Structure 1
Amino acid sequence: MSTARRVILAGAGGLALFLAFPDVGWWPIAFLAVSMFYMALRDARTRSGFGLGWLFGMAFLLPHLWWAYVAVGWIPWVALSAAESIAIGLVGALTARMTRLGTLGRLVWLEPAAFALLWVGAEQLRSAWPFGGFPWGRLAFSMADSPVARLAWLGGVPLISLAVALLGAILGVGLLALRERSVIQGLATLVAVIAIAILPIGLPLDGRAQNGEITVAWAQGNLANEGLDSFSRAREVTDNHRDATLALAQAHPNAAVDLIMWPENASDIDPREDAETAAAVTEAAQAFNAPLLLGTNDYTPVNGRYNTSLVWLPSGQALPGAAYRKQQPAAFAEYIPMRSIARRFSSAVDRVSVDVLPGEGPARIEVPITSLDRDVTVGPIICFEVAYDWVPRQAVREGAEFLAVQTNNATFGATAESTQQLAMSRIRAMETGRATFQVSTVGVSAVISPTGRVIDRAELFTRDAGIATVPLRTTLTPASHWGGPLAVGLELLAGLVALGVLLSRSRGRGRS
């Protein structure tokens, strides 16, 4: 294959993968995108493979992460996309070398599986490093509406990504066979890919209540679309959420609500330290005479602050001991590594004047629920934490009966950031078998069943609120039990494949 064709395939494949994710959401095209990438890599030189992988990554991530440009400008946006694309470049280099040298010898039919392992290994790498990683744009997060998404119940996000990468590579083999006029082999491969992609629909997703039900009132207070300037309007944000809650209570005067839920940053001024804020959140809690789960900032540390979720009672005080501090702050958004160096590239880093400190887990809060005459364990997940596998898995292993994804999307404008996050929340619901609320300051807020189905949803930059009754569940899914060891196992296998490829010499298969 000519270099020009390889470049076109890699670039077009990256753009196609972008279309598989929200807001476009054409999930079947993810398989085609991966197949285009795999075809571009086969028998390429190692250096060319890295370049093709980096190109594929940039063609995908630049439009996928457009919200980063809207929030902080073009330099951080391009830098983030370029850095994340390096991991995909490594996949390209190793795959090209493997197929060109014939590393697997007579086991050539395992090359798609080796590619899939390398892909998942790269996803795991960039999900953890550097600065805690950035798991956005993993193949699994394009699959929320697909049968393949049900693999989340079995093995979590890594297993979904493995399946998509494997089926995409097999599809690439089939398309290459058709190109070489091996019609029967090509068509058989295409049929096999479709059949295998449908198989996970038989996996058992259970949404039944196991420990009672809880009725939650949620509020999306909204704010004008003014980007980073939203952070300078803390009292307005709190007042908007109070007003949305009061309007909901007036519309449903007889509703028996167990818990009220507000998003991250709904009360940036800590109600424990400010009387005016305390009065506003108390009024909201008293509207339904129910505890209020809200996001705030804790400035008590001398060397930073905590992004915190806490419970406020109708009596006008915080529930003692009922607080969660975000464990995975977002690098360059909530804290600035190497601040003096980062400032040379963007002055926006100085908007983060006080760094967020990592809290100590687990992600759980026990809330007294009067109707159940007991405490219910909530799994609070703050904003970008929903992209990290270990946070929701930890929450349910620590007893969370449902998940509360509290997020603030006000700085990302009318982009797909919030719907990309919603897709992640849906995958987490299936992965953990827990009802999940995604509650945002400006949208998209949603109520999600334990099977990943969206029950209710608010749109971007609208004031909205709702009441939903969801099941409480305690059973751990296979992914909750074994998702961590599975991820480690896949990483080790990917490492072995990479080592084998690097140490391999040509087996002289004569492929050109």
Structure 2
Amino acid sequence: MFHVILSACLLLVTFPDFSFSWFAWIAFVPIFFLARNPLSFKAAFGYFYILGCIFFLVTVEWLRHVSYFGWLFVSFLYATYFGCFGLLVRWFWVRRGLVFFFLLVPSAWVVLEWIRTEIPMWAFGWNLLAYSQSDHRAIANIASLGGVYYVSWLVMLGNVSVFFLVSSWRMKQNKRFALVSVIFFLAMLLVPVFWTREPHAAAHLPQTSSDDTGLSAIGGEQENRVRNRVHVAVVQGNIAQGEKWDINQKKRILQTYHELSRFVAADRPDLILWPEASFPGYFNIDESRFETLNLVQELHIPILVGGLTYESESVAFNSAYWVTEDGKVQSRYDKVRLVPFGEYVPWKTFFGFLGLNRLAQSLGVGDYSAGADVRVFSLKEGGAFSPLICFEDTFPSLARRAVAKGAQFLVVITNDAWFSKSAAPYQHLQASIFRAIENGVPVIRASNTGVSAFINARGKVLGRVQDQQGNSLFIGGGLARSIEISKLETFYQRFGYLFPAACFLTVLV
């Protein structure tokens, strides 16, 4: 059990709030020693399952602010992926030999992360192993080749290499293989780092006279506008979750967003972004929407408004409304990937039989419908973007599809007020960083309580809404920036997205 606890501690400190990311490269080494010892497959599953339980119970502890039941349910459910990984690790060690163990263990991890992230209904792509490296841009930028899963593969390959190195030193055997494995790992890491380094990428990008941020803030010196830039503003209303749907707070909430919009409008942005569900009602039928439409017409600046959509008693959507500068609703995007047991109850017949439908309703679970597909909106001044709502930026396939349909930058509107002051918003930010790198496009985040941020196509966080003390969470404000929208198609966009499928075939063989 000591090995499990040690691996858990090393893995936990790699993610926010700790972010000692280098420990990710050795976190699994202790528990690999358990898999090497005489051990039943049942025990292997159990040890890794316990590791998964500890990992999720701590890293998503913020779910308890929504529901203690949800926190425990998610932790114990998704720990199953760790348990399955333990079975495969033990199988590879017993049946396949050193070479296969070295190659198959990272591939198996990627397959399980891929399933956990993309599986219909039950997907939860939070805190993938690669996200621990989001602050190390040289490593994170490798995602432009094979996506987040390729970076996870490299991190796990590093764990296996260190395991072989330590094992050969302790056991006085297989030293040559351990050395070769380390050399192979370093080659697999350093070659992509060299290939995706900043100077290499910069050579493909248009040269401008701006600084390396390529941005300007309200009150700062403004750069010359060029055709491959758009000027975008985000507003962060800082509306407490307990007040968002309080009818007595409705007027104050709208007034807050209107005032913030007027504030950022002073910088004459091409677009203003409101967070998810920032409009306190059903935007398509609520009479208060006319106040917001009149505001847009007054400012003569398009606004993307997060609001709910009512179509019937059984059909409602979590939407983003595209309101053009003339105050007209031109289009809307309905959220495609809904949060299970948050925005809907999956398998209603089954869970209704167990009585969980009533439990879910008592916990405030919504009953929304999923949208058809991603949408691309075009600015009058040039530039096309796709909105992603809430945790949709944790789905690599969704972001890739949006860019493939013509989006030159991605917009994430979210409400993380549910989770209080916790690691959740920073963990969420990590996903946005990787979506930018994978697709070679900027990502702009508008969050109710933070983190609202601008991320360039290389994954660099260029600016955040924050107060004078540098706090990004639970503060109100707005920020306007210019972003580079020149699109460089990444290898990930063309072929690299297939990397998890290649890992799946590798494990099958």
Answering whether residue 263 of structure 2 is matched by residue 260 of structure 1, we say no
Return the alpha-carbon distance in structure 2 between the equivalents of residues 298 and 118 of structure 1. Answer: 41
Partner of 2:212: none
* Structure 1 residues 421-454: Cα deviation after superposition (integer angstroms, max 9, x where no partner): 1011011111110011011011011100110001
Q: Specify which of 458, 474, 479 is matched with residue 466 of structure 1.
A: 479
What pairs with 1:123-202 in structure 2 (closer than 5 Å)? 123-129=113-119, 131-146=121-136, 147-180=138-171, 197-202=189-194
Partner of 2:218: none
Gaps spanning 5+ residues in structure 2: where? Answer: 208-226, 466-471
Q: Is the 8 A contact 1:281 1:312 kept in 2?
A: yes
Answering whether residue 444 of structure 2 is matched by residue 437 of structure 1, we say yes
Structure 1 140/168 Cα, relative in aligned 2: closer, same or farther at 3 Å?
A: same
Partner of 1:62: 57
Equivalences, count: 471
Q: Is the 8 A contact 1:171 1:193 kept in 2?
A: no
1:8 offset after TM fit, Å? Answer: 1.6
1:291 offset after TM fit, Å? Answer: 0.3
Amino acid at match of 1:104: R
Structure 1 97/104 Cα, relative in aligned 2: closer, same or farther at 3 Å?
A: closer
Structure 1 363/180 Cα, relative in aligned 2: closer, same or farther at 3 Å?
A: farther
Q: Is the 8 A contact 2:67 2:363 kept in 1?
A: no
TM-score for both structures, normalised by structure 1: 0.85
Q: Is the 8 A contact 2:52 2:78 kept in 1?
A: yes
After the TM superposition, which of the residue ranges 339-348 and 142-151 deviates more from structure 2? 339-348
1:410 offset after TM fit, Å? Answer: 1.0
Q: Is the 8 A contact 2:308 2:319 kept in 1?
A: yes
Answering whether residue 127 of structure 2 is matched by residue 116 of structure 1, we say no
1:65 offset after TM fit, Å? Answer: 0.7
Gaps spanning 5+ residues in structure 1: where? Answer: 1-6, 498-512
1:32 offset after TM fit, Å? Answer: 1.3
Report the secondary structure of 1:368's partner residue: coil
Return the alpha-carbon distance in structure 1 between the equivalents of residues 502 and 420 of structure 2. Answer: 39
Return the alpha-carbon distance in structure 1 between the equivalents of residues 252 and 17 of structure 2. Answer: 29
Partner of 2:26: 32
TM-score for both structures, normalised by structure 2: 0.86
Partner of 1:85: 79
1:476 offset after TM fit, Å? Answer: 2.1
Structure 1 221/135 Cα, relative in aligned 2: closer, same or farther at 3 Å?
A: same
1:133 offset after TM fit, Å? Answer: 1.5
Return the alpha-carbon distance in structure 2 between the equivalents of residues 270 and 153 of structure 1. Answer: 38
Report the secondary structure of 1:131's partner residue: coil
Structure 1 430/447 Cα, relative in aligned 2: closer, same or farther at 3 Å?
A: same
1:236 offset after TM fit, Å? Answer: 4.0
1:473 offset after TM fit, Å? Answer: 2.7
Return the alpha-carbon distance in structure 1 between the equivalents of residues 375 and 328 of structure 2. Answer: 22
1:91 offset after TM fit, Å? Answer: 0.9
1:456 offset after TM fit, Å? Answer: 0.4
Structure 1 129/272 Cα, relative in aligned 2: closer, same or farther at 3 Å?
A: closer
Return the alpha-carbon distance in structure 1 between the equivalents of residues 190 and 245 of structure 2. Answer: 45
Q: Specify which of 8, 14, 22 is matched with residue 16 of structure 2.
A: 22
Return the alpha-carbon distance in structure 2 between the equivalents of residues 77 and 346 of structure 1. Answer: 18
* Structure 1 residues 9-34: Cα deviation after superposition (integer angstroms, max 9, x where no partner): 12321232121112221111111112
Q: Is the 8 A contact 1:220 1:439 kept in 2?
A: yes
Structure 1 381/342 Cα, relative in aligned 2: closer, same or farther at 3 Å?
A: farther
After the TM superposition, which of the residue ranges 135-144 and 459-468 deviates more from structure 2? 135-144
Return the alpha-carbon distance in structure 2 between the equivalents of residues 342 and 392 of structure 1. Answer: 35
Answering whether residue 241 of structure 2 is matched by residue 246 of structure 1, we say no
Partner of 2:468: none
Amino acid at match of 2:498: P
* Structure 1 residues 254-282: Cα deviation after superposition (integer angstroms, max 9, x where no partner): x2311111111111424442232331354
Structure 1 377/34 Cα, relative in aligned 2: closer, same or farther at 3 Å?
A: same
Structure 1 212/128 Cα, relative in aligned 2: closer, same or farther at 3 Å?
A: closer
After the TM superposition, which of the residue ranges 125-134 and 379-388 deviates more from structure 2? 125-134
Report the secondary structure of 1:331's partner residue: coil
What pairs with 1:320-331 in structure 2 (closer than 5 Å)? 322-331=331-340
Structure 1 184/380 Cα, relative in aligned 2: closer, same or farther at 3 Å?
A: same
Return the alpha-carbon distance in structure 1 between the equivalents of residues 357 and 279 of structure 2. Answer: 31
Q: Specify which of 291, 305, 310 is matched with residue 279 of structure 1.
A: 291
Q: Specify which of 91, 96, 99 is matched with residue 104 of structure 1.
A: 96
After the TM superposition, which of the residue ranges 27-36 and 275-284 deviates more from structure 2? 275-284
Structure 1 37/148 Cα, relative in aligned 2: closer, same or farther at 3 Å?
A: farther
Answering whether residue 232 of structure 2 is matched by residue 216 of structure 1, we say yes
Q: Is the 8 A contact 1:436 1:447 kept in 2?
A: yes
Q: Is the 8 A contact 2:126 2:394 kept in 1?
A: yes
Answering whether residue 309 of structure 2 is matched by residue 298 of structure 1, we say yes
